[in-house]
Structure 1
Amino acid sequence: MKKLVLILALTLCFDCFSQEIEKTEVAAVTAVVNQFFEALEKQDTVLLKQVASMEGQIWTVNNTVSPARQRMRSFSDDLKTLISQNSYLETPLSMDVKIHKGMAMAWVPYEFRLNGEFSHCGVDVFTLIKKEEAWKIIFLSYTIEKESCEQLKTK
């Protein structure tokens, strides 16, 4: 009986430890995504290089035109255009993070303001990988929408 109690207690401890590791990893991914938003707002190319792989891709699905238009660029392309006279503020409305064995995905509905004025809303989907014990964004796809923004706040 004592062995059974010991095995049960050890199993519960391992499960609790596993959940703590997962919470720590979710927090780390969330921090990287939030740093991406900070880099955009501050037009900070050094911070962008820290959180995103410059070889990574960015895909846009622009739903404000018909038919919707898709465009692809790299993070290194964004470095060339990030610093401008405009001010950018992308506000995440929520974040859902999924992690599996060194790979993570963050689903982030957002609102975007250009020079303080509402521009559009949409959903960002970040793909990250863990390299040398640090999470790095390797892929970003996002939608651009003008309608149904209130629905994104409730999801």
Structure 2
Amino acid sequence: MKHALLAALLLAATGATAQTAAPETEAVKKTIETFFEGMRKGDSTLVRSTIAPGAVFHTLATRNGATQLRVENPSEFVKAVGTPHKEVWDERITFDKVLIDANLASVWTPYEFYLSSTFSHCGYNSFQLVKLAGNWKIAHVIDTRRKEKCK
């Protein structure tokens, strides 16, 4: 009987955690979706609204057979988004994993990037978000980039 009561309490506690976690997971996803919506629209204000102060952007790319870690300046990225360009920057993602602990979230998203309707490259994004003043913001993003073997 003691074991059945303990199991019931544990299941109830797990259910409560899942119910409170779902809104946070959706809020984290919304921040990332807003980031990419801003890219598609060329709206630097929208993109900037999703980025934490002091954020860091990295990309892993292969050049001449060697993998390189490149730092991308978030301010320059935001400026580029808002600078008029012919093509729509369309990064299509799916959410593979969303992990949250308190005010820290880690998100893994496979993606395909298109310039308007033309495929450019693909890879995976790894986002680190922080909850500041009640809002989820992107603190770090690192991605891989390739033209083949997507997904």
TM-score, length-normalised on structure 1? 0.84
Which residue does the alignment assign to 2:79? Answer: 80
Note the residue ranges of structure 1 that are not aligned, 5 or more in a row.
none
Which residue does the alignment assign to 1:56? Answer: 55
- Please tell me the residue identity of whatever aligns with 2:80: T
CA distance in 1, matches of 2:59, 2:43: 21
Which residue does the alignment assign to 1:102? Answer: 103
- Could you tell me whether the CA contact under 8 Å between 2:121 and 2:146 is conserved in 1? yes
- Please tell me the residue identity of whatever aligns with 1:125: S
Q: Deviations over 1:88-137 (max 9, x none)?
A: 10001343101112100110000000132100000011100111111100
CA distance in 1, matches of 2:66, 2:7: 58
Q: Give the Å deviation of 1:55.
A: 2.3
CA distance in 1, matches of 2:8, 2:53: 46
Pair 1:65–1:125, CA change in 2 (3 A): farther
- Structure 2 counterpart SS, 1:146: coil
- Could you tell me whether the CA contact under 8 Å between 1:97 and 1:105 is conserved in 2? yes
TM-score, length-normalised on structure 2? 0.86
CA distance in 1, matches of 2:128, 2:116: 28
CA distance in 1, matches of 2:10, 2:62: 49
Q: How does 1:1-16 map to 2 (within 5 A)?
A: 12-16=11-15
- Could you tell me whether the CA contact under 8 Å between 1:64 and 1:146 is conserved in 2? no
- Structure 2 counterpart SS, 1:39: helix
- Could you tell me whether the CA contact under 8 Å between 2:95 and 2:107 is conserved in 1? no
Note the residue ranges of structure 2 that are not aligned, 5 or more in a row.
none
CA distance in 1, matches of 2:90, 2:55: 22
Q: How does 1:3-152 map to 2 (within 5 A)?
A: 12-63=11-62, 65-83=64-82, 84-85=84-85, 86-149=87-150, 152=151
- Structure 1 counterpart SS, 2:60: strand
CA distance in 2, matches of 1:112, 1:71: 18
CA distance in 1, matches of 2:91, 2:63: 18
RMSD: 2.1
User: Which has the larger share of helix?
Assistant: 1
Q: Give the Å deviation of 1:74.
A: 2.6
CA distance in 2, matches of 1:39, 1:52: 12
